[in-house]
Amino acid sequence: MSHASSPLFDLETLRSGGKRAVAKALAAVETARGSCALVALLDEAARAARAHVLGLTGPPGVGKSTLTNALVQRARKAGQTVAVLAVDPSSRRTGGALLGDRARIQTDPEDRGIFVRSMAARDRLGGLSDDAIAAVVLLRAVYDLVIVETVGVGQSEADISLVADTVVLCIQPASGDSLQFMKAGVMELPDIIVVTKADMAEVARRAASEVAGAISLSGGSEGHSQGWKVPVIRLSATTGEGLDSFDEAVQAHLSHVEAHQIRAQRRVEQEERWVEEAIKVRFGTHGLARMRRMARPQGGPFAREAELAAELTSNQE
C-alpha cells in the first residue's frame, strides 16, 4: 500500500500543516484503515483531544446547517478555530474529496482556522461510520471547536453520542417533532434542546412549551449528564436571536461536564463503544460476541481495535 512509501506524519505535523495536512490524514482514514501509521496517529490524537465536540442532530430542514454557519462565524470572531463534519446519509463516498464548497456551509477558503468536510453516513438512517468517528478524533486534536452535524432520522440520534461531548437536538416549530421524540425515547439523549426558527415567533413559542412539557412528562431532564438540567433554547440562526443564550448553554454544559469529570468518563465509554462498533461492522454480532470473550488488549482504542481484529481474523471459528 502507498502509505508505506509516504508515511503518515505525527500529530505535531498535523497541527502545523494546515488544511492540507488535515485533508491528507482524513483521506488516509478512508483508504489506509488499519495501517500501523494511521493507528498510531489516531491513538496519539485520541489522547490529545483539544476541542469540545458539539453534536448537532435533528430532522432534515430543521435548520442545522444554518445554525452551524452562525456558530462557525461566532467562533471565528471569538478567535477559535473550528472544524465542521457533516455526516450525510444521501452523499455517496467521494474518495476523500474535500467538500469545503458544500453549498450550505459558507466559508472563506483563505481562512486557515476553519475546516469543513462532509462524510457519508454508515447507512441511510444517518448513522456514524467508523471513518467519521476517526475523523472526529483527528479534528478534535487540531481545532478548538468541532461541530458534528448528523441528520436525525433514526440511528444518528443515538450515534451522535458516540463522539459528542455536548449533544444538541434541534427541533422545528410546529412540526410535532417533540411528541415523536418523546415516544422514541430520544428525550433521554440531548444535553441541550434547540427550537429553531424563533423568528416564526408564535409557532416557536408553542414548540418550546411543548418540549418543556414533554421533558417533564418523560420524568427526567438530566439527559446524559448527571445533575444537568436540559435547557430548551429558542433561537433563530437567521436573525441571531437566541444565539447568545445558546452559547451560554453550551458553556454551562461544558463547565458542568468538566467539573464533574463527566466528559472524561464519557470519552472513556465512547472509546469502548468505538472498538465494539468497529468490530461489529467487520465481524458481525458473532464476531462481537467472540471479542467479548477475548482478553482485553492494552493501548488506545485504535490499537485495541487493530489487535482484536487481527486476532479474530487469525482465529476464525
Question: Where along the sequence are the contacts to ligand GDP (CB under 6 A)?
Answer: 58, 60-66, 104, 196-197, 199-200, 236-238
Q: Which is nearer to ligand GDP, 161 or 236 (CB)?
A: 236
Q: Which is nearer to ligand GDP, 8 or 237 (CB)?
A: 237
Least CB distance from residue 265 to ligand GDP, whole Å?
30
Least CB distance from residue 174 to ligand GDP, whole Å?
12
Contacts of 222 (CB under 8 A, 6+ apart): 228, 229, 230
Q: What is the DSSP string of 39-66?
A: HHHHHHHHHT--SEEEEEEE-TTSSHHH
- In sequence order, what are the beta bridge partners of 170? 194
d(CA 192, CA 228): 10
d(CA 214, CA 104): 31
Q: Which is nearer to ligand GDP, 58 or 89 (CB)?
A: 58
- In sequence order, what are the beta bridge partners of 56? 149, 168
Least CB distance from residue 135 to ligand GDP, whole Å?
19
User: Which conformational region is residue 233 in: left (phi greater than 0), alpha (psi within -120 to 50 degrees), or beta?
Assistant: beta
Q: Which is nearer to ligand GDP, 118 or 196 (CB)?
A: 196
Least CB distance from residue 200 to ligand GDP, whole Å?
6
Grid cell at residue 146: 468541532
Least CB distance from residue 118 to ligand GDP, whole Å?
12
Q: Which is nearer to ligand GDP, 38 or 170 (CB)?
A: 170
